[in-house]
Amino acid sequence: MKAIKFLRMGIILVGILLSACAAAPARTSAPADSAGDQTLSTKVVFTGAIESINGDQWLINGQTIKVDQSVIRDGSFLMGDTVKVEAVVAADGSITAQRVESPSAADLVEMTASAPEASSTSMSGSSPSQPLIF
């Protein structure tokens, strides 16, 4: 009987160890596109300066972002303004804003503090001004 209890406990411990070593699932959301299909996307939040505005295509920190007028908060923005962007990066690499607003003081402090570290966590890994994936 003691051998069976010992064996059972050993199997349980091995199961726990194996499950702890398993990789966590990727954090993605799957919004429906206009055709009703599901596509994988990643949410990003970043703060940066508007470099250009061409219709619904905005260039922010070197990234082209599709910005619908309905997602703009805090009034209108001009080139050179600093904005906080919440966006979705689609599987094809396109970025669509879900919210654009004036950054809070905390956002600006975070942007300044994380700039040296951003190169290791950015989308391309080459520039601290790239959007960070959360």
Asked whether residue 112 carries a pLDDT value surpassing 50, the answer given is: yes
For 6-20, 50-64, 82-96, which range has the lowest pLDDT when averaged over its residues?
A: 6-20
Q: Using pLDDT thresholds of 50, 70 and 90, give the confidence band for residue 4.
A: confident
Q: What is the dihedral of CA 63, 66, 72, 76, to 10 degrees?
A: 70
Q: Which residues partner with 41 through β-bridges? A: 29, 90
Average pLDDT over residues 105-132: 55
Prediction pTM value: 0.55
> 2 vs 44, which has greater pLDDT?
44
Task: Give the contacts of 32 (CB within 8 A, at least 6 positions apart).
Answer: 38
Average pLDDT along the chain: 74
Compute how many other C-beta atoms are within 10 angstroms of the C-beta atom of residue 41: 20
Asked whether residue 66 carries a pLDDT value surpassing 80, the answer given is: yes
Q: Using pLDDT thresholds of 50, 70 and 90, give the confidence band for residue 88.
A: very high
Residue with tokens 């303004």: 81
CA distance 13 to 28: 31
CA dist 66 to 29, 59, 117, Å? 18, 9, 26
Q: Please answer whether residues 125 and 119 qualify as being in contact, where contact means their C-beta atoms are separated by less than 8 angstroms.
A: yes
Asked whether residue 25 carries a pLDDT value surpassing 60, the answer given is: no
